[in-house]
A and B are shown apart, each in its own frame.
Chain A
């Protein structure tokens, strides 16, 4: 299984809502990532988890809260978002100590109203 899955595919939320994005992989990868991609822009790194511990936080606002409950699952909890947070949120995974190739999920397209 070389697939990274993400749910939901689309999400519309108001600025006062709380929602969560979910990412799952069963490739035995020990590193997982969240990226944010605005329209016509490249992906930008948000968070990195390695061995289920947060190792990189690229100065992301606290309204985004990542969580890694186990080695296969990565969540991104959203609270009090702003309209400018509307974007495609991509999850990826990779082997920790081998190749740096990352495997991406299809993304969650988020619209904040």
Chain B
């Protein structure tokens, strides 16, 4: 079953602009992760935020987590053409090997 719901489903912006994607989930979580997928290939892990964290940064990425609203956002600043991809949030209940439940994803297009 799908846990996360991304919003928007598709986003097209100009290169250099910031892109914001949102994710909502339904059950309690230990962590929330964001992954990127280029053109139906393998997923690349971007960032993990734990349930006791509110914000996390990695390079041009900023992730926030609001456990009271069961939502997270991913901000990509100063977007580049290479950021064109699908972005998925994923939740795990902790303990490593329980698999991930992915949201529906946001398809991001960066116009040059």
Binding site for B on A (CB under 8 A): 4, 30-31, 33, 37, 39, 41-45, 48-50, 55-56, 58, 88, 90, 92, 94-107, 109
Contact = CB atoms under 8 A, between A and B. Distances in A.
A28 to B, nearest CB: 13
B99 A96 contact: no
Given A48-B97, A94-B96, A100-B31, 16 more contacts: A31-B96, A37-B40, A39-B40, A41-B104, A42-B103, A43-B43, A48-B99, A49-B97, A88-B40, A94-B97, A97-B95, A100-B33, A101-B33, A103-B45, A104-B42, A104-B45
Contacts of A39: 40
Nearest to B93: A100
Interface of B: 2, 30-31, 33, 35, 40-45, 48, 88, 92, 94-105
A96 B94 CA distance: 10
30 contacts: A4-B42, A30-B97, A31-B96, A33-B97, A33-B99, A42-B88, A42-B103, A43-B88, A45-B100, A48-B98, A48-B99, A50-B96, A90-B42, A90-B43, A92-B43, A94-B96, A96-B96, A96-B97, A97-B95, A100-B30, A100-B31, A100-B92, A100-B95, A100-B100, A102-B43, A103-B45, A104-B35, A104-B42, A106-B42, A107-B42
Contact of A104 (B40, B43, B92, B103): B43
A66 to B, nearest CB: 13
Nearest to A44: B102
B53 to A, nearest CB: 13
B87 to A, nearest CB: 11
Identify the 8 closest CB pairs spanning chains A and B, nearest first.
A31-B97, A42-B102, A45-B99, A50-B97, A104-B42, A106-B42, A104-B43, A100-B92
